[in-house]
């Protein structure tokens, strides 16, 4: 099981994030640290997750998926719940 950091920009005005967010939340685990960002715990590789995300966004949108190892990380201004999720899952 890997944790991937998914960052996205939905560039079309009036874009509906609902399908994308529901998809990201459908995995084994997830956390939402920032407005257009999720940590997703899944058995999918980064490329597979990216390809499936593409089904929920438009061709004008941008997405990056990075596998997180947890070797080093730090936060500022984020909730204690998010920090606990990171401690547990990274």
**Of 48, 54, 2, 53, residue with least CA distance to 29:** 2
Q: Check residue 15 and give its pLDDT.
A: 74
Q: What is the mean pLDDT of the chain?
A: 94
pLDDT digits (tens, 9 = 90+) for 16-36: 789 999 999 999 999 999 999
What are the structural domains, with CATH classification, of the chain?
Answer: 2-89 (3.30.70.240)
Residues 31-81 have pLDDT tens digits of 999 999 999 999 999 999 999 999 999 889 999 999 999 899 999 999 999
**13-18 long-range CB contacts below 8 Å, 24 or more apart?**
15/58, 15/61
Picking from 1, 78, 70, 2, the residue whose alpha carbon sits closest to that of residue 37 is 78
Q: How far apart are the first and last CA of the chain?
A: 10
């Amino acid at each position: 099981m890997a944790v991937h950091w998914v960052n996205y920009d939905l560039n079309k005005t009036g874009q509906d994030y609902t399908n994308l967010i529901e998809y990201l939340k459908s995995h084994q685990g997830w956390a939402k640290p920032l407005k257009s960002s999720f940590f997703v715990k899944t058995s999918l590789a980064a490329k597979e997750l990216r390809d499936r995300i593409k089904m929920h966004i438009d061709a004008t949108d941008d997405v990056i998926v990075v596998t997180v190892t947890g070797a080093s990380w730090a936060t500022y201004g984020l909730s204690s719940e998010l920090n606990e999720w990171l401690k547990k899952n990274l």
